[in-house]
Chains A and B, each alone.
Chain A
Amino acid sequence: MAAESSSPANPPAAGGTPQNSAAEAVQPANGDKQDAAPQNPKSVFVNSEPIREDQVQNAIKFLSHPKVRDSPVFHRRNFLEKKGLTKEEIDEAFRRVPDPSPSAQPTATNQAGQGVTTSTIQPAAVAQTPLPMTTVPSGGSPSMVALARSRFHWYHAVFAVGLLTASGVGTAIWVKKSMIPRLKSWIRWVVLEEKHGDGDITNIKPSVAEEAAAAAKSAAAAATDVAKASQEMMISRREEKVNMEKFMDLLQMQVTEIRSMGNAIQQLEGRSDKIERTHRVEHGGYNGSIANLKPTYPMGNKPEIDSRSARSSSPPTSADQSAPPYLNSYMEDMNDQPPYASQQISNPRSAPRSKPWDGGYQATTTSRGGGFGSSLNGDRGSDFGAQNNGVSYQADAQNTVPWWQKKNPRITELDYVEAKPGSNTVAQTNEQPPIQRTWVPPQPPPVVMPEAAEAIRRPKSKKEAAEPVPNQETSGGGSSSAAAAVEVTDELQRITKISESGGEVEETTAHSGGQETNGGLKLSEIEEEPVQSY
């Protein structure tokens, strides 16, 4: 990143825009764009909206949420940007929320004038936030409490874990030492009680021998129980061991199978590389350091950029050898670096050609104003011959127009009947409102036979008068009578033009006009005097 600088190193274009430090007064090269620009003479590519207070308030609420505060500053900015806030609004919200460090970052980076803006510094800022917050007296107690709470969290957790383990261990020991002997003696007492009870019923002989025998019996029973339990445990352990061994055997078999498959595949790819590739497979995953979205296959590891130079030379395999069906073999160690360190860029052999949208510069621009769709055949061919810049192809085919310049007449008429309004907008781009969904009908040619036009008009008008009924509800009440009058004349003109051009396109446009509820072809609004009753 050492090559960055705040001001671009591009030399100012000849006659281009002046370089200003701020975003003000950027005059575009073509002065006619100022008509549609906002009132202040700023660049149109800058947010010119005022700061919306409600958005800022929403952003402040968002930023004050405790969960949000734990997230990195970068994510917070990105969320607000996605919600549609401008940079100024986001900065304002950050400024107002009692958390000074995020707002300090953008201003610092702006002043530093680096091309790298907020993002690289913000991850570091996240780590640094505890420090400045302790040194700088931040806005009031909430932040200090938050800070204390955040610090506490860590220690608190450690403390809690330690306490729990200690208490657990203590309870265990205590239980072992005191509870179990008590339990045992209680059990013995109960057993003795039972024994006593039995003795009362049958033959009460409180003799030490009998008591001892009873105690011995119970002990023996307990011992047998313990023995049984331990035996069961042993059995289960043995079973587990056996299962484990079986499992291991299966795994080993699978591993050997996979290895053999791998070997077979590598043999297919070329014996000479076999040794090298098996080395790579065993070293496995060393290229995981590349932060890469692409999956890596064990066979063909994506080479690290650094390792390319360190790699031992091996004959590159040809890419045509048979490969597994799912993956085409490729040359891993292809060297695509520049062969010469600083090769001169040769001078261009031909001059740059001007673009069709630059207008006024190009030789072929004579047709630019009017004829987008049609009648460019002959013009194109001759102009290309004149403007040829040394393409040998042209020299051979002297008079024949290349096939890809010939227009299919079918396209030119159908597609760009609407091209003419497009041509209007080329010349006067900004004098029309930006949001323009209506189809502006072109200027009709002069009427040659007014009687014919009149005759055609009448049946058309009757037909359209029948149509407004379904459309009336949808767009009713929308237009004034003046607008209706204008549209009537427009519609009539259009229909005249259609009828004079052969009437082919009549049906489709009439249909589309009938169904259109918004937009210029408001047939529904056409009301002639006799039909006013509708």
Chain B
Amino acid sequence: MNVSKTPFNGYSVKFSPFYEDRLAVATAQNFGIIGNGRVHVFSLPPTPTGALTEIISFDTADGVYDLAWSESHDSLLIAAVADGSVKLFDTNLPPPQNPLRSFQEHTREVHGVDYNPTRRDSFVTASWDDTVKLWSLDRPASIRTFKEHAYCVYSVAWNPRHADVFASASGDCTVRVWDVREPGSTMIIPGHEAEILYCDWNKYDECLIATSSVDKSIRVWDVRNYRVPIASLNGHGFAVRKVKFSPHHRNLMMSCSYDMTVCMWDFMVEDSLVGRYDHHSEFAIGVDFNVLVEGLVASTGWDQMVFVWQHGTEPRGP
């Protein structure tokens, strides 16, 4: 029930894994096509209604497409920037002393970033130059580059239980499962007939992975039998931009789509749609669950709004 308006169009929202009342929003000017970008760090106010309090914000030369909080340092943020750079921000330092690092290795826009939640020492970035790169905070250059996809890689996600396994979703209509100890991908899941925009692992069953695609559907796969999806969730009117599994419930998922809605799903039930929120007036691009507070969710979109609400209540407030 907290709302805030950002000056730029929202691309991604992430709750902090350290502070339950803190979240960061990645935004880009002019819908991310051209212009600057900004990372906002908000804090939830003590009142149930009202605007989010901005703690700090960082400007970038190009739009920020995604961000990830560090799991090892409570104040560090990794931003995926559209000019191909990966920037490290410290929210404890003022903006003139930021960014701490700017890694310029990708040759195209960096579209996704994910921090390793189990080992907490590395992160991966997904880029439109068809590669995925593995980084560590203390190294000046990437540790590894994974180049197998035939088209833009839109997202990466670490497995919540296996510290070396991650998955990448790409515009070549496949999801690849990688192991950082292997030279190439260990599994190729041709999940959809259209581009796959996002993938996420189930937090309670490390063999389940969800994919969202331009074909308006979300599919849940078991990597042990990936020929047939466990569930295919339809209901969105346009391409589904993100899908996230709940950190508190095994079967609960949340998705956002270009049809401007955020939907909640339970993929084990026949009629899987358990909630639909229509609060955005433009493409809904980012959603996130709060890992520390059960039921608290946030969403952002191209209408420059950031909503934080409790699942089951009205996002725009009573």
Contact = CB atoms under 8 A, between A and B. Distances in A.
Chain A interface helix/strand/loop/mixed? loop
A23 B203 contact: no
A81 B266 contact: no
B44 A404 contact: yes
Interface stretch (A10-18, A455-463, A490-498): A10-18
Given A117-B183, A291-B107, A355-B247, A330 B172 contact: no
B161 A29 contact: yes
Nearest to A301: B34
Contacts of A5: 143-144
A432 to B, nearest CB: 10
A149 interface: no
Contacts of A1: 145
Contacts of A291: 107-108
Interface string B274-291: 100000000000000001
Interface in A503-534: 512, 516, 519
Contacts of B184: 87, 110, 117-118
B163 A16 contact: yes
User: Which range holds the interface residue count of chain B?
Assistant: 35 or more
Nearest to B151: A78
Contact of B143 (A10, A77, A384): A10
B18 A353 contact: yes
Interface stretch (B120-128, B211-219, B236-244, B254-262): B120-128
Interface string B28-55: 0110011110000001101110000000
Given A352-B17, A404-B44, A418 B147 contact: no
Contact of B222 (A295, A353, A434): A434
Interface in A374-417: 376, 380, 384, 389, 391, 393, 396-397, 402-408, 410-411, 415-416
Contact of B61 (A78, A336, A397): A336
Interface string B49-92: 00000000001110000000001111110000001100110101
A197 interface: no
Contacts of B172: 78, 81-82
A142 to B, nearest CB: 28
Contacts of A340: 97
A287 B190 CA distance: 36
A46 B206 contact: no
Nearest to A516: B270
A160 interface: no
Contacts of B206: 28, 33
B143 A404 contact: no
Contacts of B263: none
B294 to A, nearest CB: 7
Contacts of A13: 118-119, 163
A361 B266 CA distance: 26
A113 B159 CA distance: 24
Interface in B270-318: 270-271, 274, 291-296, 308, 310-313
A9 to B, nearest CB: 5
B249 A416 contact: yes
A6 B120 CA distance: 21
A357 B19 CA distance: 17
A114 B148 CA distance: 12
Given A345-B138, A353-B18, A337 B223 contact: no
B147 A404 contact: no
A114 B102 CA distance: 25
Interface stretch (A37-45, A188-196, A233-241): A37-45
Interface stretch (A170-178, A244-252, A422-430): A422-430
B164 A404 contact: no
Nearest to A119: B147
Given A355-B117, A410-B312, A44 B72 contact: no
Contact of B310 (A118, A337, A338, A408): A408
A83 interface: yes
A426 B246 CA distance: 13
Nearest to B173: A82
Interface residues of A, number: 121
Nearest to A423: B250
Contacts of B130: 119
B21 A402 contact: yes
Contacts of B182: 23
A356 B141 CA distance: 33
Interface in B98-140: 98-102, 104, 107-108, 117-122, 128, 130, 134, 136-140
Nearest to B296: A404
B145 A4 contact: yes
A118 B148 contact: yes
A23 B100 CA distance: 37
A478 interface: no
Contacts of B118: 13
Given A328-B29, A419-B249, A429 B60 contact: no
B144 A8 contact: yes
Interface string B135-178: 01111111111111010000000011111110000001110010
Q: Which of B107, B160, B162 has the most CB of A within 10 A?
A: B162
Contacts of A29: 161-163
B207 A434 contact: yes
Contact of B144 (A4, A334, A512): A4
A3 B142 contact: yes
A44 B223 CA distance: 7
Nearest to A49: B227
A47 B284 CA distance: 35
A501 interface: no
B75 A10 contact: no
B303 to A, nearest CB: 15
11 contacts: A3-B139, A29-B163, A36-B224, A45-B165, A45-B179, A81-B172, A119-B148, A330-B35, A357-B204, A391-B19, A405-B296
Task: Name the 5 nearest CB pairs between A and B, nearest first.
Answer: A411-B312, A3-B141, A78-B150, A330-B35, A403-B48
Given A3-B139, A45-B159, A437-B230, 17 more contacts: A6-B183, A9-B139, A13-B163, A26-B179, A28-B161, A48-B224, A77-B150, A78-B172, A81-B172, A82-B190, A114-B183, A118-B148, A303-B61, A336-B99, A345-B76, A402-B21, A404-B310
Interface of A: 1-11, 13, 16-17, 19-20, 23, 26, 28-30, 33, 36-38, 43-48, 74-75, 77-78, 81-84, 86-87, 109-110, 113-120, 291, 293-297, 300, 302-303, 305, 308, 319, 327-328, 330-331, 334-340, 342-343, 345-350, 352-353, 355-357, 372, 376, 380, 384, 389, 391, 393, 396-397, 402-408, 410-411, 415-416, 418-419, 422, 425-426, 429, 434-437, 439, 512, 516, 519
Interface of B: 1, 17-21, 29-30, 33-36, 43-44, 46-48, 59-61, 71-76, 83-84, 87-88, 90, 92, 96-102, 104, 107-108, 117-122, 128, 130, 134, 136-148, 150, 159-165, 172-174, 177, 179-188, 190, 203-207, 222-225, 227, 230-231, 247-251, 266, 268-271, 274, 291-296, 308, 310-313
